[in-house]
Every structure is written in C-alpha cells, then in structure tokens.
Amino acid sequence: MVEVESQRHGINLLEVGRVDFVANVVSSEVNGDKIIYSSPTNLEPVFAVSRKPIDWHKKLRVGLLTSSPYKNYLTEALPEVTPVEFTTKSEVFTQLYQGGLDVFLMTYRDISRVAKYDVYIEPVDSLLKLPPASVVALKNSRAEFLLSDIATVAEKTKNAHTIYDTIQDVILSARLEALEYKANRLFPLSYNLKIALENRKPFSFFESGAHKGIMLEVIAKACHLLKFHCTVADTKNMTWEDIESQFIQGEVDVIAPYVASQPRKQHTYFSDVVHEAEIYVVKRVGYKDHYYHSVSELFLEKLGAVKADYSEYLWNRYLPNKAVTFFGTQEALIQALLKGQVDYIMLDSVSLNAMLADELLPIRPEMNIPSVHSVPVAVGFSKRDRHEEVAALFSEAFELVSIEKVINAYDSPPDWQKIWLSHNRISTLIYIIALLIIIMACVVAVLLHKTSRTDALTGLKNLRSLERSYAKGLKVGETVLYLDVNRFKQINDKLGHKVGDSLLVLLGKRIKKYWNGDAYRVGGDEFVLIGTPTNAQLRDSRALLGEFLVPLEREKSSILVSVAMGVFRASKPIELEEALAKADALCTKTKLKIMSVQRELQSRSNARPPKSYSDRAYTLGYLP
C-alpha cells in the first residue's frame, strides 16, 4: 500500500510502474487515456473550505491542486467562479488566509488537516454533480484483468456499507473537531441562550408532562456540540403573537420554528433551513368533498389562521380583502375547525402529518387543491450581541446532528399515494356513475319518445306521430289510404276482445308487409296509410288489405274480415286535417255500401248461421 498526495500523483506512480492500482479515482479528461476504470466502487466526498460562509452566487476564486479532476465539474456547474491551480496544499492554505482565495476544494481525507483552523467546511458533491470513484489500472497490463474482480468485491452489500460508514465517520470526526475549535475560539467562555418554542406539534409540544418535539431536539443537540448553555422559556400558555413579540423585543434570544421570510430578516438572523415545509389547505372530513380546486375559490368560506403566523400572509396573498378569523395558538385553530367556527385553515405538512396520525382527529387536506406554498422553516436569532456568528455556528451544527433522523422520528406521513389513488378512484367512480346515469336517462328518453309516438298493440305509429310528421300538410302526389274494419264492434262483443286485438295485430302486420310508406293507427279500428304508390301498387295494397283471415283458437276455425277503404290523392298541397276528412268520407261511403250488401245477403238466407259465424263475416272451415 502506497499513500499518495493526490489523484494525479497516484496516476503518475501508476504510469511509471510504482503501483499496479490506484483507488478513489474520479473520471476526468486530465487523467489521460493510458488508464482503464473499473465499475464504480465508492463515493469520493469533496468539501469546500473557506474563512466564512460561502455564497456560491458570487464570483469566487476557488483553489485546486494542479490537474485536479474536479476543475471541469466546477466550471460546468458554476461557470461564474474562477478556478486557481496550485502545486501544493500549503500554497492553497497560504492564499486562503492571505485573502488571495475565497474557497478551496479538498477530499474528505484532507479535512482532518484543517479542523484546527478557523474555517467553514461545506460538502459540494451534489453542487458539482460528481460521479462515484473507481479503481484504475494501466491499459493492457496484467492488473487490468483484475479490475472486474476488485469491483465485484467492493459492490457486495456488506463491503459497500463498510466503505461508506468508514468515510462518513472520518468526515463527521473532522467536521466535529473543526466546529468545536471554531466555537471555542469565538466563545471561549460558555455562551447563554434563551430559547422560545411555539407549541406546534410535532415541532414543539408537551406530552405526559415532558417537553418534546423536532425543534427542541435539534436545538438541544446543536447546543451540546457548541457547548452553549441553552434554556427553554416557558411558552406553554402563550399565543404565537406573544412569543414573537418577546423575541422581537429581545426578551428571548432564539425563536423556533420560524419561517425565514424577507420581512422577518429585518430583525432576525436565520440559521440554514432546517426543513422545507409544504403548506396545505385543510378542512373537516366530509365537508364539501371534491368541491373546490383552487384557493381563490374559497372566498365564500369561513377561513382561520394563527395570528402573526405565515398562513395569515398566505390567506392575504391568495384572497386579499377576505376576512380571516384569527386564533392565538394552533390548538385553538384546530378546535375552531372541528367545531365549525371556520371551514378552512392552512397547515404545514409536518404538523398535518402529526395530526393525521391520530385517526380520531377528523381533518383532511383538500385533495383537489395541491400544496399552496413551500416555506423554509429555520431557527431565528435576534439581531443583537454576536448572534450573527451564533446563527452561523448553529447552521454548521445542524449539518452534523442528523436532522432528517430527528424529523423522521416525529414525522410519520400518511400514505399519500394511497390517499391520492383512493381519491382518483372515487372521482373515476363518480364520473362512471354520472355517465351511466346520463346514458340511462338518454335510453329512457328515447324509449319514452318512441312510446309516445308508437301504438303499443300493433307497433305502428300513432295519431300524435301522424300529426307531428305531417304538421305542414301533404305534398302534391301523396296518397292517403284510410282503413276502417267492418263490424269491429260486433266481433269484440260476440267473440271477445282477445279476438279483436288479434285482428288488429294481424292487420298491423299485413300493413307493414304490403304497404310501402307511413302507417298509423289513429283510432280503435281505424288506420291511416300515407305514401306515393303507383296505381298498380295502390290496387295491390287494397286487395291484400281489404280482406284477410283471423284464426279462432277455441273454435279451431277462422273468420274472414273485410276492411272498408277510402283513397285520396293530393293534386295540390293540402292540410292534413282536410286530406284525412276527404279520405274518411270516402271510407265511410264504402263502408255503407258493404253493410248494405251484407244486409241484403242476410235477408235472402234462411239458414241459421253456425256458432262461429258473425253477422258481418263468412264461415270458413279450419285449415290446420
């Protein structure tokens, strides 16, 4: 094993045959084309070291060692910075302390060397978008063929975790040492801080007589690392407005949780952001589900907020001039929502998740309204004494106290995916049901329309349909054929209504079969046929519809039924009523002639008609 000063130094030794492999090599053009890389084996954390907190938006002079693989990544991610190369690390330190540099980059293995200096250390892997490191060997060397085996060993879960944990331990140890050194230099004597925490679960709350919460734990850990004496003020029965007032007046030094807004920066030094909280519109369970889709639609609803809280600003931003009911604490706000004193409030995602974890609390976010805002939750330090330096130290300490683990211990978010999927399924179901209702309504409407214009017994159109179809009258050449069953009443009276109905059904079928035009049943035994038949077609239709047999099931015989007809052909446009009257008059005239002939035939006959004989029909033998 040979320890090298830099990546370039290791590759130089590889090229002259002093070593067979070099580990922790980040891919870069400066490495040349003589080497070959294994698959990624580990991360190679890189840090920025400076004399004061770094603002990457400014034009900075950034120091690197000559042929550093990080130069290209730096200029690509931050084109406004100026990279400055040095041959030795001592030169870099000298320039940093003399003000010739703003920042210099180093790997995690080197940060322990700067821990005793008054510097700020900041990870930059995500900023520079650095790739993982690999093991390299010379191309076409014997070592090249072992690279895949080395990578396989490194990629095993246990080994990968060991490598990662070892690197993190080295980094944490060095950064803790650097923070402790800096805190001791700036504040050689114990520094006292009085801290005010809002009673907002899960950031800060009382449970079983104990004070708990995310902010309490994070601040306590930071105070321990910095060796500060921190005292938590009693704010259990105070409103948020009173807490903030004490902070602004200087009665307490620190306030949390505190949203870092521009107006508050006039009287506050802020730490780095502890948590980015999403703000949601919240309502009671079952209240106007799926009703609203944006905050601006809530202008008719009763809105609530904690006085001086960030939600007051948000309500005013989305609904200016809308009255909002204010409450002293978040607990009072929630109770007002549950009692119906207000209908909608705003809550940050962490507080909302804590409340939703309690299944007995019937509140839910408005699913159709997405997150309305993202707010940076931080710790505020009053603008007095040396609190700007204190805020910077706390920011460094927060990076070392595993804030995410603390948040995760309190923040148990509901399964939003299931909630959203359930919401989507319900919405889809509602749409499907609505569509089915519409389809059913259309079907019913069609059936009702058809029923209203169709004769139920024969299936022909009815009088209403006739009047609507020919509301504008008949055109030239259209023919009306008026049909009236002879002695229909006698058939009903003597043979029964069932036979009468069968007669009408049979006539309807014959009309559909032998008439090429519109057909209507306009009365009990009266039918109107309209069309434009030729003379031959009209003659055939009259012959086929003028007489027909109606079977008698009980008698096992049939009766011959005759139909009187009146024909009217329009020689000019004519109103329907007038055309029907003319055709009906001709039909009646024909009917009277038939009845006269039947009476004469009856008077000549001395024979008594058989039981199946009708006084207006002939008797026929049953044809099976």
Output the pLDDT for position 614. 42
Report residue 426's pLDDT band, with 50, 70 and 90 as the boundaries: low
Spatial separation of the C-alpha atoms in residues 197 and 154, rounded to whole Å: 46
Residues 247 and 392 in one domain: yes
In a domain, 113, yes or no: yes
Output the pLDDT for position 621. 38
Q: In the predicted model, what is the mean pLDDT of residues 310-325?
A: 91
Spatial separation of the C-alpha atoms in residues 247 and 196, rounded to whole Å: 8
What percent of the chain has pLDDT above 90? 34
Output the pLDDT for position 604. 67
Q: Kindly write down the DSSP assignment for every residue of 333-369, as one continuous string.
A: HHHHHHHTS-SBEEEEHHHHHHHHTSTTS-EEE-TTS
In a domain, 610, yes or no: no
Q: In the predicted model, what is the mean pLDDT of residues 152-168?
A: 76
Report residue 354's pLDDT band, with 50, 70 and 90 as the boundaries: confident
Q: At 605, list the tokens.
A: 């006959």
Which among 321, 284, 334, 326 has a CA at the least distance from the CA of 309? 326
Cβ neighbourhood burial of 494 (10 Å; 0-12, 13-18, 19+)? middle
In a domain, 233, yes or no: yes
Output the pLDDT for position 101. 92
Residues 409 and 471 in one domain: no
pTM of the model: 0.54
For the ranges 38-52, 148-162, 227-241, 578-592, the lowest mean pLDDT is seen at 148-162
How many domains are there within the chain? 3
Residues 383 and 258 in one domain: yes
Residues 199 and 168 in one domain: no
Residues 165 and 298 in one domain: no
215 contacts 379 by C-beta, under 8 angstroms: yes
Residues 132 and 193 in one domain: no
For the ranges 113-122, 187-196, 200-209, 445-454, the lowest mean pLDDT is seen at 445-454
Residue 324 has pLDDT above 90, yes or no: yes
Output the pLDDT for position 360. 62
Which among 2, 95, 96, 107 has a CA at the least distance from the CA of 45? 107
Residues 131 and 203 in one domain: no
Report residue 622's pLDDT band, with 50, 70 and 90 as the boundaries: very low
The counts of H helices and E strands in the chain are 19, 27
Residues 175 and 195 in one domain: no
Which among 272, 273, 268, 270 has a CA at the least distance from the CA of 382? 268
Residues 178 and 193 in one domain: no
Residue 1 has pLDDT above 90, yes or no: no
Q: Which residues have CB under 8 Å from 362's CB, separation 6+?
A: 284, 285, 286, 338
pLDDT tens digits along 18-43: 999 988 888 888 888 889 988 888 88
Output the pLDDT for position 341. 95
Report residue 412's pLDDT band, with 50, 70 and 90 as the boundaries: low
Q: In the predicted model, what is the mean pLDDT of residues 402-431?
A: 66
In a domain, 511, yes or no: yes
Residues 141 and 202 in one domain: no
In a domain, 298, yes or no: yes
Q: In the predicted model, what is the mean pLDDT of residues 348-367?
A: 78
Residues 233 and 216 in one domain: yes
Residue 481 has pLDDT above 90, yes or no: yes
Q: Which domain holds residue 523?
A: 463-600
Residue 416 has pLDDT above 60, yes or no: no
In a domain, 448, yes or no: no
pLDDT tens digits along 106-140: 888 787 777 667 788 888 888 888 888 889 999 98
Spatial separation of the C-alpha atoms in residues 41 and 44, rounded to whole Å: 10
Q: What is the distance, to the nearest Å, from the Cα of residue 355 to the centroid of all Cα atoms in its chain?
A: 22
Output the pLDDT for position 451. 61
The CATH number of residue 268's host domain is 3.40.190.290
The CATH number of residue 143's host domain is 3.40.190.10
pLDDT tens digits along 54-77: 888 889 999 998 888 889 999 999
Mean pLDDT of the chain: 85
Residues 196 and 229 in one domain: yes
Q: Which residues pair with 337 in a beta bridge?
A: none
Torsion, Cα of 602, 604, 610, 612 (10° steps)? -30
Pairing of strands 268-270, 373-382: antiparallel
pLDDT tens digits along 526-539: 999 999 999 999 99
Exposure string for 340-358, b = 16+ CB within 10 A, e = fewer: eebbbbbbbbbbbbbbbee
The residue ranking higher by pLDDT, 460 or 42, is 460
The CATH number of residue 525's host domain is 3.30.70.270
Give the other-Cβ count within 10 Å of 253's Cβ: 22
